[in-house]
Amino acid sequence: MASGGGSVAIGTGPRVRRVGFGALHLTGPDLWGPPADHDGAVRVVRRAVELGVTFIDTADSYGLGASEELLARALHPYPDGLVIATKAGKTRPSAGEWLPLGRPEYLRQQAELSLRRLKVERIDLFQLHCVDPQVPAAEQFGALKTLQEEGKVRDVGLSEVTVEQLEEARRCIDVVSVQNRYNLADRRHEAMVDHCEREGIAFIPWEPLDLGRLTAPDGAVAATAKALGATPAQVAIAWLLRRSPVMLPIPGTRSLRHLAENVASGDLCLSDADFATLSGPVGP
């Protein structure tokens, strides 16, 4: 069960357990369209909730809406305490393209579509997928504020932003979460993690596992995992949980076995020595 790791507050909603689930990969090849094994994907999502996961992250662009539709099929009506976050602000003109699109009318359109696909009257957490450099940032943040004022969105978050952009947004609207890429091997956003912790803002690291760089047999992650009787993925997630109390990792998977391992990482306790070792360089 996802009882370990504690919980974190996200805005005005219920506190959620700090090992969430990312629904990005429950889509088709190249994250385009529905998954080939639709029933298998439904089983994974339902099992995540059975294991105690209370936070699921998705986006309108994941599978061109297929991820949101799958969550609704698997879980609606949603259990009490479950928070589903979605995002808008990127478009997919082809399978290999992810382009910013932050025009206010587009963000509104996508929010309406997400409401329909998720089968809800209000989105728990609506995140701007990225700041579109072609649109004034104030207009993008203002669109989120309007959706919130209309009751279509409960809380607002940002993704792929700098500290400066976050603070600009906060002058317009209450921002309760930030979702940037962050893991043991990629710590470019250390300053953002620290800023979110000081401000009481949840930090949702996307791609929390970078196992291609973390599983070298002579590396610190593999050695720590062996010593603790854990997997490298569990060690990587445990390090994130130890890194900051506002950290909310969202590892995603199509595998029931990996799902169980990921959830169990909340119960893995790193010693001060383990944490210090892992916090050093992890290779090129």
Q: From the candidates 62, 78, 106, 182, which is the catalytic residue?
A: 62
Contacts of 113 (CB under 8 A, 6+ apart): 60, 65
Phi, psi of 181, deg, nearest 5: -70, 130
CA distances from 141 to 8, 91, 168, 170, 181 (A): 24, 18, 9, 9, 21
Sequence length of the chain is: 284
DSSP-derived pairing of the beta strands 123-128 and 99-100: unpaired
Give the pair of three-digit tokens for residue 270.
């790193």
Give the pair of three-digit tokens for residue 167.
């603070």
Indicate if 62 belongs to the active site.
yes
Exposure string of 70-81, with b = 16+ CB inside 10 Å and e = fewer, is bbbebbeebeee
Exposure string of 170-187, with b = 16+ CB inside 10 Å and e = fewer, is eeebebbbbbbebbbbee
Q: Which residues are catalytic?
A: 62
